[in-house]
Structure 1
Amino acid sequence: MASFAALEDTDGVRLTWNVWPNSRIEATKCVIPFASIYTPCKRIQGLSVMEYPPVPCKTCGAILNPHVRSDFNSHQWTCPFCHTRNHFPAQYRGITADYQPPELYAGCATIEYQMPAGNVLPPAYVFIIDTSVAEDELRACVASLTQALTTLPEYTQVGLVTYGTHVHVHELGYSECAKAYVFQGSREYAPQQIVDQLGLGTKMAARKGPGQAQMMPPQAPPGARFIQPISECEFTINAALDELMHDAFPRLSEHRPNRCTGTAVQVAACLMGAALPAGACAARMLLFVGGPSTEGAGKVVDRELSEPIRSHEDLAKDRAPHYKKARRFFDGVAVQLVQQQHSLDVFACALDQVGLAEMKPVVDMTGGVVVQTDTFHNPVFKESLKRMFVAPGPEVSSLETASNATFEVIPSRGVKVAGLLGPASPTDRKGPNISDTPVGIGGTTQWKLAGLDVNTSLCTFYEIVAAQSKDAAGQDPSLNQQFYIQFITKYLHANGSLRTRVTTITRKWTTGEDTQTLISGFDQEAAAVAMTRLTTFKMETEEDFDATRWIDRTLIRLATRFGEYQKEQPQSFTLAENMSYYPQFMFNLRRSQFVQVFGNSPDETANCRLYLNRESTIEALTMIQPQLMAFAYTEAGYRPYPVLLDVESIQPDRILLLDSFFYVVVFHGTTIAQWRKAGYHLQEQHADFRNHLEAPKAEAAKILQRRFPVPRLVDCDQNGSQARFLLARLNPSSTYSTQTSMSAEMIMTDDVSLSVFMDHLRKLATSG
């Protein structure tokens, strides 16, 4: 596993299998799909950035890379993907075997090309603020947003849309007095109607009189009235934010506030589409919402409190009257934003659901981010918003967002691209390398990403179609051959330059009978993440899909195929080291929030799946199987060390730190909690105990500083109410039905433990 992680640090790629069988039939016996998890904008130390365009193959479009066969005498190179001979361009005439360009070096499998941007505009942000929240919530939201605006460069373009009962589009280019265009929240609009009413359509522009035309500079586009550089509208937007008030329209006490979230998002999307040329700049909409939508398109629930907001059971039994209509509406908005290459980010700060499950396709397809918490006062919201804009530093990391990207996969002959799971949308690129059996977003080898960052990871699935063959001597000619996969990502960098990152990897073919070679190339961490993405995709797209049953059957087939055992003797069953942790990953997946939705709202489930679909292998694995650490004294002070994710790890004199990606738990055993309550850490003679208490907090602070969104920090004691955050993720080896207690804690559950799960797996795998 360490070697596979090292490969990811070098090229940003993890493969579920690093050795592939050389025939379609043998590939189907491998059970786990052949997939890659690639992070296009991963920070790679020592990455070469060339300031000239890449050299493509004239036939397949693959970029010049270290795996080509170069003939320096004839100044030609042979593409390893389609075997076409290409001429080196004129600027490469002087190269020799001893003097080669960097893209031919073996250590430059990943390389980046930087070209000066042409007519690229400064980045643009349109803020969509919910004014139906309580006054103190609105003030907290405005305060955080005002602070964030101070961190943006003066050339950054900004716009402001507020909504409650109605939608207000603020005209920032009119500084004489506050001016806004108002849309009725309960009415459904066609996109062209919105554009025309804002005066951005051709007809409205033609009606303007001479006096109106002189209000803006002749060269300024009509949309400049609404989206302007901060240097020109700083006073206007700050004044508009300061004067924002709670939605003035009255509501009955037994009614929810009037809130037209869907209409506001649609209006902002149309505004950005008309005011900003598609793909001309990095453009994002930031939605700040504090409750469910109760008006207009995208409505989640009626205003009457007597109607409860939909649950997972309601969705499963088709008892959510607004869900399908709202989902269709947001699907249309998603398509519009993809065409415009604009992203939607959602900051959902409410105790109730806000309709994130309905908005999920918009966020997912446009590469947006979600921050979900209970209030705008919460540090999770404040810190996450700040990191959207601040430059990365030694202590705090930022997203370093890129935009307007296209991602293309070029495989070797014998391999076809089945599809992709990730925050992307398909293009109409066709070709011979496309599988007839799509997985996820299929039917193409190229996808668009409106927004991506340093953590965005794309999971691509492949189909092996090579036919096993023998030569005259009866040997397989492909045994010693390599296959290749190239990832080409073209994107607009955060600094405004146009970049192309090219990663070319090579792996080895083998015969299907050589199971030991196949096992040696199995990456169980990448396989667990790919299977989890595939499981959640099937849960959302296939009716009556039993995720737990499918996971169990897949695991049993894998164990039967690659385990070592004697038939009908479960105690003889063993798995190779490269596969030994995979059953444990599947055990935790079965119990995770991705599969078990009971106790979670549809919005919480949507948020979890959104981040699973975009995070890197290590971060996604943390969501599936959280990391649990205890603290021990060393000469350098108290340091964390890993312990089993099991209830037996709870001890009275131990402090535990759980990292589950979405929240971080600092858990104190009963003895530690009693000592702290007695104030021992405040006494000078117990300075060592004080350091013991501070060590996990310092470690938790490091996790909070490097991760986006900022996780929730839970500080709790054994037997306390918030201890449930830890107990819910532990292996229940000690329960009320256990005859002998093995730990200081007991979990009240009917779930089977890992040992029972493994016993069943051994029995079923060896039964044939």
Structure 2
Amino acid sequence: MDFTELELRSGLRFSWLVWPCSHDDAEKAEVPVGCLFTPLRHSDEDENKVPLVEYIPIRHKNSGIFLNPYCKIDFNTKKWMCPMTKIDSALPQLYAENISPQNLPLELTNLTMEYLIPMNVSGGIFPPTFIFVIDTCLAHEELDQLKDSLQQVGKMVLSMLPGEYNIGLVTFGAVVKVHDLCESEIPRVFVLRGGLEHKTEAVKRNLNLAQNNRFVQPLSSCEYVLNNFLETLIPDYWPVPNNNRPSRCTGSALSVAVSLLESFAQGKGGRIMTFLGGACTFGPGKIVEQSLSESIRHHLDLQKESHNARLVKDAQKYYTGLANACATNGHAIDIFACSLDQSGLHEMKVCCDKTGGSMVMSDSFSMSVFKDSLKMIFKRDAEGNMTGGYNARMTVFTSPELKVCGVVGGCHSLKKKAPNVSENVIGEGGTNEWSIGVLDRRSTLAVFFDVETGNTNVLTSAMNAVGMNNASKEPNALTGKESFIQFQTVYFHPDGTKRLRVTSFSCKYGQPNLTDLANGFDQEAATVLMARYALFKISTEDPLNVLRWLDKKLINLVSKFADFQKNDVNSFRLSSQFSIYPQFMYHLRRSHFLQTFNASPDETAFYRTVLSRENVINSLVMIQPALLEYSFDSPTPQPVLLDAASLKKNVILMLDTFFQLVIWYGDTITHWREQGYQDNPEYAHFKALLQMPLDDCKPFLEERFPTPKFIVCNQGGSQARFLLAKVNPSTTYTSGLQEFDGSTAIINTDDVSLKTFMDHLIKLVVQS
């Protein structure tokens, strides 16, 4: 089974499909043993659809493993063996009467199964709850844009929501307003102080939640009241002195929303959708003072811990507390930050990271990036249901020798101790069970493992220490054996039903000399896993140290799996299984995930949050953008190198960075377009060429989340910077000018080119 087939059948991509047989070999492999898992992977192809059945699965009483294709079935005794504990268990009577080699149940033929938990077991139907938290601390012009977007998008979104979905509304400025959604002659709003953190018990007491439920109502009964509140939304009336920022109590408003969800949706699905127009300047979670004489923190302030960054740690601590409370209850926090200035995403990033919530950043609420992204959250499938899941719990079961280090993605560790939990923590670790507030069909978690072979490592190390190196070459006890992993994800479907999705996988351990590992290396999955690992490290370490760590890992990996003669760069050969990996690492080093130059902390937080939850293909597009060329030489677009040499005058290029879609016209194409040749019937082929990249962009704009920014630019124009920043600078103002013929572009940068990077890598490897 190849990487793509495995991903289609199970939603899994492993860095190694043959695993190192000991902890020492895992360390030598340089790329960690891990996988990228998409719990709610969806396929429209019939052969890859996940079977949905309406019965309770068979569970092994000793190990907790559900019946799966890796269980051995004894058709004579009607028993099945757990692949983890090797203990037999009797099949239920219904299975025992009908099972045979020719008549196998679905769970014995599918790597992934989905079970609809009967209502008498789940306790009933529990639709999710949505709390809208809206910032009104805006100027009239900005609020008009926000109201226009909310009214246009909101009416459509609300009409898409089933009537039984529960809705709440919180608005804030200098104070927090909780809106009474029950119909009455006079609209009622309860006002809470903006300078306080509102604990759940205090909110229950102040709003009398124990006796009434006026603030969270089914959409079917409150749609008119909710629309009326949105239509009459006015700017915050709190006075703003000259040269001051508005008094915006974002942290206080979020604490009220968290308390409302905890009160009305305990143990059920729920999400807080926050719409921000600026930074928090008042109350808990404040990130900047109200006076405009003090600038908001930038990366240099964070690195030097300067005066402008003095509020950051307290704000992060506060939002971490809110995120933990939300994640523990299985709820999610979404943030839509639409402002030309920073809104505090750097400090609030943890709210999305721990709950699985979405983060969207745009310049204005009137832009399609915001509008279309909001629509995507409420998108329905062919059956009319919203996609995804709420209040999920994912548990990982493994063979005894395989330990779970942790998960990097939109989840929260539940600190559940288990025998398969590693002491080595990566990301959300110290557990084998995680809470995920919201999942969609793209939500992907990076799960890291460690191979532990008990006393074998201790004995081997001791023998190596006294010079008995031959002992390390003896076959390991795990060599050739199979390891087993099962992911169990319980979640609430948007229709309110409770479901269980089970994904199982088994992998073989290789030989101690690492040669077996090479054939099972997935360089795409390995790149994304290393990127996730780097994101985890960069949150607590100096960015320069993380870059050095990546370089060291790359050099060591290539030196172990490449063929070369010492000190001879011409003898260097790297097999096809590893050939693209150094190129991925080059682009990862240059990316805005690890480089903060010319980016604000909010932008960096946004990029890192999105990378930490996307699947392999989308993550690779973020790391190494795709570049397509449109020209008269080919009737179809052709992929070209992400290189300055591809910037030709007589072509059209389409750059996909995931966050932006850029259509770039060369000088010749621009001249023809400005002359209006496309309007002349004689040049219909030119008109078709201009239309082709526009048509190719539409599927990305309609299906991707967050919706990418769409940019059309000409060669030499200001917007062309989005393309110039991504290409490999093979021709710069310092290199190759003697051979420059003017047909391509020169990149004004001091960054090293891919060729220089590879030359240095090969030189270091052959000297090792």
Normalised to the residue count of structure 1, the TM-score between the two structures is 0.93
Distance 1:658 1:197 in 2: 53
Out of 256, 260, 267, the position equivalent to 1:279 is 267
Say which SS state the counterpart of residue 66 (structure 1) adopts: coil
Partner of 2:413: 426
Structure 1 distance, partners of 2:670, 2:56, is: 62
- What is the total number of aligned residue pairs between the two structures? 738
Cα separation, 2, equivalents of 1:715 and 1:543: 36
Displacement of 1:655 = 0.6
**Helix, strand or coil for the counterpart of 1:546?**
helix
AA in 1 matched with 2:349: K
CA–CA separation in structure 2 for the residues paired with 1:227 and 1:603: 31
| Equivalent residue for 2:296, pick from 286, 303, 309 | 309
Which residue number in structure 2 is paired with residue 300 of structure 1? Answer: 287
Q: How many Å separate the matches in 2 of 1:349 and 1:294? A: 16
SS of corresponding position for 1:196: helix
Residues 602-632 of structure 1 show CA distances to partners (whole Å, capped at 9, x for unaligned) of 1111111111111101111111111111125
Report the Cα distance in structure 1 between the residues aligned to 2:317 and 2:202, rounded to whole angstroms.
19
* Alpha-carbon contact 2:21-2:511 (below 8 Å) kept: yes
SS in structure 2 at match of 1:225:
coil
Aligned to 1:77, the other structure's residue is in SS state strand
Aligned pairs for 1:148-547 within 5 A: 148-200=157-209, 205=211, 222=212, 224-276=213-265, 278-280=266-268, 282-319=269-306, 320-392=309-381, 400-466=387-453, 467=456, 478-515=478-515, 517-542=516-541, 546-547=545-546
Q: How far apart are the structure 2 equivalents of 1:683 and 1:398?
A: 47
Equivalent residue in structure 1 for 2:74, among 71, 74, 78: 71
Match of 1:113 in 2: 115
Secondary structure in 1 matching 2:132: strand
The more displaced of 267-276 and 307-316 is 267-276
The answer to whether the 8 A contact 1:633-1:639 is kept is no
User: CA 1:299 to 1:444, structure 2 compared with 1: closer, same or farther past 3 Å?
Assistant: same
In structure 2, C-alpha distance between the alignment counterparts of 1:162 and 1:148, rounded to whole Å = 19
Alpha carbons of structure 1 residues 514 and 386: separation in structure 2 relative to 1, 3 Å: closer
Contact (CA 8 Å) 2:200, 2:263: kept in 1 or not? no
In structure 2, C-alpha distance between the alignment counterparts of 1:398 and 1:17, rounded to whole Å: 37
Matched, 1:696 2:704: no
Post-superposition offset of 1:478 = 4.5
Structure 2 CA distance for aligned equivalents of residues 604 and 334 of structure 1: 20
The answer to whether the aligner puts 1:18 opposite 2:17 as a matched pair is yes
State whether residues 138 and 246 of structure 1, in contact with CA within 8 Å, keep that contact through their aligned partners in structure 2.
no
Matched to 2:694, the amino acid is K
* Paired AA for residue 123 in structure 1: P
CA deviation after TM superposition for structure 1 residue 511, in Å: 0.8
CA RMSD of aligned residues (A): 2.1
Cα distance in 2 between the residues matched to 1:564 and 1:378 = 52
Contact 1:539 1:545 in 2 (8 A): no
Query: Given residue 657 of structure 1, which amino acid in structure 2 is its aligned partner?
Result: M
Q: Distance in 1 between matches of 2:674 and 2:289?
A: 48
Partner Cα distance (1:656, 1:189) in 2: 52
2:712 paired residue among 684, 708, 715: 715
Q: 1:679 to 1:577 in 2, by over 3 A?
A: same
Deviations 1:23-44 (A, max 9, x none): 2222221111001100000103
Deviations 1:361-397, CA, capped at 9 Å, x for gaps: 1111111001110001101111111122131469xx9
**Any gaps of 5 or more consecutive residues in structure 1?**
206-221
CA shift in 2, pair 1:311/1:679, >3 Å: same
CA distance in 2, matches of 1:477, 1:154: 59
What is the identity percentage for the equivalent residue pairs of Structure 1 and Structure 2?
Answer: 39
Please list, as runs of the form range in 1=range in 2, the aligned pairs for 1:657-736 lying within 5 A after superposition: 657-736=654-733
After TM superposition, the structure 1 stretch with the greater mean CA deviation from structure 2, 135-144 or 293-302, is 135-144
Question: What secondary structure does 1:358 align onto?
Answer: helix
1-side partners of 2:113 and 2:756: how far apart?
Answer: 48
Aligned to 2:596, the other structure's residue is in SS state coil
Q: In the alignment, which residue of structure 1 is the partner of 2:576?
A: 577
Which amino acid is 1:568 matched to? N
Distance in 2, Cα, partners of 1:304 & 1:607: 26
Aligned to 2:466: none
C-alpha distance in 1 between matches for 2:448 and 2:107: 28
Q: Kindly tell me: are residues 351 and 748 of structure 1, through their superposed partners in 2, closer, same or farther at Cα, counting changes over 3 Å? A: same
Q: 1:399 to 1:754 in 2, by over 3 A?
A: farther
Does structure 2 retain, via aligned residues, the 8 Å contact 1:131–1:138? no
Q: Match for 1:724: what amino acid?
A: R
Instruction: Give the partner amino acid of 1:173.
Output: C
> Which runs of no fewer than 5 residues in structure 2 stay unpaired?
461-469
> In the alignment, is residue 596 of structure 1 matched against residue 595 of structure 2?
yes
* Whole-angstrom distance in 2 between the partners of 1:186 and 1:585: 47
Quickly say closer, same or farther: Cα 1:75–1:649, change in 2 above 3 A.
same
Q: What is the CA-CA distance between 1:477 and the residue it aligns to?
A: 6.3
Give the distance between the partners of 1:288 and 1:142, measured in 2 at CA. 10
The secondary structure found in structure 2 opposite 1:752 is: coil
Whole-angstrom CA distance in 1 between matches of 2:731 and 2:378: 46
Aligned to 2:566: 567
CA contact (8 A) 1:387 1:398 kept: no
- Range that drifts further, 445-454 or 145-154: 145-154
What secondary structure, in the 3-state scheme, does the structure 2 residue paired with 1:437 have? Answer: coil
Deviation of residue 510 (structure 1)? 1.3
Mean alpha-carbon deviation: is it higher for 732-741 or for 118-127? 118-127
Q: Deviations over 1:563-593 (max 9, x none)?
A: 1000001121111101000000000011000
SS in structure 1 at match of 2:326: helix
